Amino acid sequence: MHAYALPHWLWIATVMAVCAGAAVWGRRDERIAAAALFVGWLLTVAVYSHRGLQTEWGILAVDAAVMAVLTWVALTTRRYWPIFAASFQLLAVIIHLARVVDPSLGGWAYITAEIIFGYWLAGAIGVGVLNRWRERRMFAA
């Protein structure tokens, strides 16, 4: 691991916090998106093989499936955060496709972009959970 790399436990903590928040405070949309994030993370760990040295076809398939779920959530809700979540996931898929089109795209840039979009995705779902928590708190008072 590089000295400037984020520790792996930070991603695990982020996913767990978002999923726990969605389970406790979320509605259908937040729970579906968090479940897609969690399952996508588990499947990514299972299929990750090339360490960015070549196109990660398994991760591309997982990311495309997660994008499909998030797009469906965005199209079936009145909330705005799913649009951002689906968009960040679309960017992750586009990075895979950029690697297919241009294999000279460096492994570090390829994997780093995937990590960044993953955090942004988790953040978008987290915003949805936070908004739902605030709504429940506001109406409970």
Phi, psi of 2 (to 5 degrees): -75, 155
pTM: 0.90
Q: What is the pLDDT of residues 78-88, one digit of tens each?
A: 999 999 999 99
Locate all alpha helices (DSSP H) within the chain, ordered by sequence. Answer: 8-25, 28-47, 57-75, 81-101, 107-140
Q: What is the pLDDT of residues 111-131, one digit of tens each?
A: 889 999 999 999 999 999 999
